Structures are given as C-alpha cells and as structure tokens.
C-alpha cells in the first residue's frame, strides 16, 4: 500500500513538472511574440528608431551660466518629467533631458545594458555640460535618481535632486518574497515580464496615457536596476555626495521604497540637504496630484543654489 502511494505521488510530481515546464515554455513564447509586436507598433519619432515620449530635450540658452541634466527612470523617457524641463528653461537655464542607453528604442536594447553602461551614459552627458557651463545641476527620477546619486558622488556638481529614487523596491504583502529575490529566481527562466499601463504607478489615473515606458520589461533589465540601486545606496556612494541635495519621495510610492530613501538620506554627507515627503502621490510624482509642489520645490532649490 505504501509503495503504491509513493508511486502515485511520484507520478503526480512528474506530471506537475511536465505541465509546469510546458506552461513556462508557452508563456515565454507568447511573451517573446508580444514584445516583438510592441517593437513593430511603437510610434517612432520622424521615422527614427526612437519612440515618441523618449525624445532627448535640449532646451534654453546654450550660453547660460547654469545647466540642468535630467535623468529619467527605469524603462522611461523624457516625458516622465512632465512640463518641468520647459519651466526650467524659461528661467534662463539650459536644460538637457537625456535618453539612457537601451531606452526609447526596444526592450531588447535595454536587456543588453549593464549598470556600468547606464552610469557611463550619465557621466558623458554630465561632463559635456560641465565643459560648457559654470554650474550644472542634476535631476533624476526613479532609477535616474539612483544614477544621479552615483554621479554626484564622483563629480563636483552645483546640486542634485533625487525624485522617488530607486534605492530599493517597495514591498507589497502579496509578493511573499522580496521583489529582488523573485528577480533573482525568475531571471534565468523568464526573459520577459509584462508591465503595460496597469502598472504605471500614478494615482492621477488620467495621467497614465502621458507617461512613456516599455510595455514589456526584460528580466535582465530588472537585474540591472537591482544592481544600480545597490550601488547607489551603498555607504561608499552616499558619504561622497557632498553637493547641496534635495530628495523628494512619496510615502505612497508602491514602486520605489520610501523607507530606503529615508535611510539613504541619513547617510548622505552633504551638509546642505533636505527631504520633502509627499502624501497623495505615487511613483510618477511629476504627473500626480502633488506635481505643482514637486515643480516648485525643484525650481526653488536650483534658484537658491545658482
């Protein structure tokens, strides 16, 4: 009897493994086809390879004393900053909203990036602006905030603004394990994860259509984000951030963990630092309920440090 039960359990286990393997193969095939479909049907800028919403913006007076480098977040683009680039340019600043490597083209391009290639892209833009302007300010959102923290620890800048910086993923009870742990588990076997509009984290729902991002996320890109975050929140990075610093984050951010920003802010070596806490917004604060406060805080920070 016991032998028969063991055999039954073994057969069920084998059937479960086979069904799971087949299911995973079907999902990966469907996901690959859907990602290719996205590539073919994404609106492009004037027939180029770059998606609408990911434009590189270079605004304002190139002879201005001050310049602002804006670094967008994970799978995002320049439109993630809302009207802030134009507002800063109207105040006599040169404003450059860059496009991170592997962004604004295809998710497959992002899958080929590394933390080093992303940081190198930011450093190149920063050094180019420093060669032309007396003051350069950095503004980074999400993963861009984590990259800005690293850049500010390596180069002298006139000020750095970290907005909803990706120092860690916000945990939700239904995740079970930490999101970072799931990424480590799934990355070798699941190459694509669906994002779509449903997972654009903004409480002002009508803003979702205004925010550009890839709809399919490469899990290699998630690993890249995880490594960027770990480097950005390390003591080695934060004790070397000595420029004036403004950090803006919402307690209700369900993408980037608010508590990680609090911990990182405490470690930043800068004497002139300030953290602004939002209460009604989610992750995309430039498009959310408190967006006017976000714009005003950044404008005032740059004005004070000019």
DSSP per-residue codes, 204-248 = SGGGGGG----SEEEHHHHHHHHHHHHHHTSHHHHTT--S-EEEE
Cβ contact 273:247 at 8 Å: yes
CA 26 from centre of chain:
29
- In sequence order, the 6+-apart residues with CB closer than 8 A to the CB of 136 are 66, 67, 68, 69, 126, 129, 130, 157, 158
What would the two tokens of residue 101 be?
């490597």
Among 287, 252, 10, residue whose Cα is nearest residue 141 = 287
Tokens 């980037």 belong to which residue? 256
What would the two tokens of residue 203 be?
């409480």
Cβ contact 154:122 at 8 Å: no
If phi > 0 it is left, if psi is from -120 to 50 it is alpha, else beta; for residue 103 that is beta
More confident residue, 31 or 7: 31
Predicted structure pTM score? 0.93
Cβ contact 233:260 at 8 Å: yes
Domains by residue range for the chain, with CATH: 57-304 (3.40.50.1820)
Residue 16 buriedness (CB in 10 A; 0-12 / 13-18 / 19+): exposed
pLDDT tens-place string over residues 267-296: 999 999 999 999 999 999 999 999 999 999
Task: Report the range of poorest mean pLDDT among 54-58, 110-114, 177-181, 202-206.
Answer: 177-181
- In sequence order, the 6+-apart residues with CB closer than 8 A to the CB of 142 are 72, 73, 74, 76, 163, 164, 165, 166, 255, 256, 283
| Mean pLDDT in residue range 167-194 | 83
End-to-end C-alpha distance for the chain, whole angstroms? 83
Cβ contact 139:72 at 8 Å: no
More confident residue, 81 or 16: 81
pLDDT tens-place string over residues 71-112: 999 999 999 999 999 999 999 999 999 999 999 999 999 999
**Three-class SS state of 250:** strand
Q: Which range has the top average pLDDT, 32-36, 49-53, 213-217, 229-233? A: 229-233
State how far the alpha carbon of 9 is from the alpha carbons of 20, 66, 146, 291, in Å. 16, 70, 49, 57
What would the two tokens of residue 205 be?
């729902």
Confidence category of residue 5, pLDDT binned at 50, 70, 90: low
């Amino acid at each position: 009897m016991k032998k028969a039960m063991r055999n039954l359990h073994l057969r069920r286990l084998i059937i479960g493994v086979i069904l799971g393997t087949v299911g995973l193969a079907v999902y990966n095939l469907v996901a690959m086809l859907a990602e290719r479909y996205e590539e073919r049907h994404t609106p492009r800028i004037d027939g180029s390879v770059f998606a609408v919403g990911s434009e590189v913006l270079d605004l304002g007076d190139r002879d201005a004393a001050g310049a602002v480098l804006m670094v967008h977040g994970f799978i995002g683009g320049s439109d993630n900053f809302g009207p802030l680039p134009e507002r800063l340019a109207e105040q006599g600043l040169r404003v450059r909203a860059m496009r991170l490597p592997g962004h604004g083209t295809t998710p497959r391009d992002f899958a080929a990036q590394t933390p080093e290639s992303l940081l190198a892209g930011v450093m190149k833009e920063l050094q180019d602006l420093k060669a032309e302007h007396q003051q350069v300010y950095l503004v980074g959102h999400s993963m861009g905030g984590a990259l800005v923290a690293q850049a500010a620890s390596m180069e002298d800048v006139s000020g750095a603004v970290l907005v909803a910086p990706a120092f860690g993923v916000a945990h939700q009870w239904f995740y079970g394990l930490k999101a970072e742990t799931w990424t480590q588990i799934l990355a070798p076997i699941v190459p694509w994860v669906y994002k779509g509009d449903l997972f654009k984290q903004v409480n002002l729902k009508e803003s979702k259509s205004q925010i550009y991002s890839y709809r399919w996320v490469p899990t290699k890109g998630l690993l890249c984000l995880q490594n960027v975050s770990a480097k950005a929140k390390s003591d080695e990075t934060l004790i070397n951030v000595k420029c004036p610093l403004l950090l803006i984050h919402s307690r209700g951010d369900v993408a980037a963990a608010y508590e990680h920003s609090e911990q990182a802010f405490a470690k930043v070596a800068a004497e002139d630092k300030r953290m602004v806490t939002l209460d009604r917004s989610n992750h995309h604060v430039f498009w959310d309920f408190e967006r006017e406060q976000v714009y005003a805080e950044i404008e005032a920070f740059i004005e004070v440090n000019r």
